[in-house]
Structure 1
């Protein structure tokens, strides 16, 4: 208890942090904290009007800020944008922020994208498609819903981020071997509704457009998770209409 009280009196220097990890949900933020190489104990200076409390630590030699939404706040683009705005205000030397969290993958077996539960999906421009597509911004037309600026309404990732992704793809062709140790580190740790353990491939069921189950062979344990790069969808509304979801996937080549 004494250590915890002392931690609260330590003031962290906002100018020493250059990368923000935005994890809107509690389960996402807890996973982020578990993956830090070192956690910085203390607190950042707070002024009137500051609505968020940030955690911090070290990952890969970089000082990292972990930012999450207040408990009970509705998750959406608006709340995520407000959080990002506060980060820019509080951390003057911030290079960039990465939004990392859970998402619904969009497998497309015909295109060779056998995306599965537990895979890592990275938003990246692909050909003529934007890296981040606002699927609920647009207008209804005679031919259906037309996305604002053909889905290019959101900003692309910073060049430094895309350069880093390119370097990772070059140096880590066997990405599963890189990620497995991190997964094993947190698999049995608790979060609000359970642990981070893999629920098993038997629970990862894929259906085709006719609601017929697609048979897929199990992946070996050492290549359980894969990394996929491509456009990802973003919106304030949860998209549960499978037909509309698949139309957007096929038209804009989205991976999630």
Structure 2
């Protein structure tokens, strides 16, 4: 008979709403805690557990069939907060739509925070105005921001610190394949013009009503990506948001890049954990049962597709 895991021993919540995001995380665990947490009536989620970089972490994901978005993420985060009494901080890790800039440069100014872009209004000029422009909805968790700063200081290009974690799992399997890079031939960015057309070399133009708003959010408000769960999570537990870009938020999006983006985000999140010294809990000294894991060493709103 298996033992029961003690929720009081877990201090870091890793929120991975999509199945592919949770799968990448499980591969990156240093050890998997195979036993289960006790469940009672009203507990709607089953959590996975393990340790990573000296931290006992709990992994929360949405069950198959549950609609993704702010409401679902809020429900999951609320149960995490209720179930784990010694929760220190969390990381919301997964995929997002990146808003590509023609010159490839980062925005001239940015905030380490989140804005709900669905809270806006159409203007007389058929434009879009954010109602909360200049006011972030929530700030990235204070423990995560210094860790990210430390990574940038040690490796200005970042990849030297987190890429080995990705390399360790890129050939691991998930339900439909591996986490390998699909290759640049599969990276299609469509160019839009002022007439509402979209074109890739040799392809016809396509109208896209959402394109205007997407590009306006990028150019006017310096938005770098669109995602769906952070607002619901950050209002309930303190989290850092780490996202890998899997599409450009346009009508041509598909899921081909999701595994790679999820694995890269998880690898960076593990590098963040490595920068944060583990925190002791007040629970008894009994250690969770562990087995070796198979792996080794913004802005919020609905995304069409």
- Which digits, 9 at most, give the CA deviation of each residue in 1:198-237, with x for residues without a partner? 11112112233334549xxxxxxxxxxxxxxxxxxxxxxx
Q: Give aligned pairs, total.
A: 214
Partner in structure 2 of residue 223 of structure 1:
none
- Counterpart CA distance in 2 for 1:18 and 1:134 is 28
- Counterpart CA distance in 1 for 2:124 and 2:110 is 24
Matches within 5 A, 1:30-109: 30-109=23-102
Partner in structure 1 of residue 221 of structure 2:
252
Distance 1:103 1:15, change over 3 A: same
- Structure 1 consecutive aligned stretches of length 4 or more whose deviation exceeds 4 Å: 126-130
Shift of the alpha carbon at 1:59? 1.1
Partner in structure 2 of residue 241 of structure 1:
210
Shift of the alpha carbon at 1:240? 7.9
Distance 1:102 1:73, change over 3 A: same
Partner in structure 1 of residue 163 of structure 2:
180
- Counterpart CA distance in 1 for 2:66 and 2:135 is 28
- Counterpart CA distance in 2 for 1:158 and 1:178 is 21
Gaps of 5+ in 2: 202-207, 226-305
TM-score in terms of structure 1 length: 0.76
CA contact (8 A) 2:45 2:76 kept: yes
Gaps of 5+ in 1: 1-5, 115-125, 215-238
- Which digits, 9 at most, give the CA deviation of each residue in 1:85-139, with x for residues without a partner? 110000111112211111111121336149xxxxxxxxxxx85646212111233
TM-score in terms of structure 2 length: 0.64
Task: With a CA cutoff of 8 Å and minimum separation of 6, indicate the structure with the bigger relative contact order.
Answer: 2
Please give the secondary structure, in 2, of the residue aligned with 1:150.
Answer: coil
Distance 1:111 1:198, change over 3 A: closer
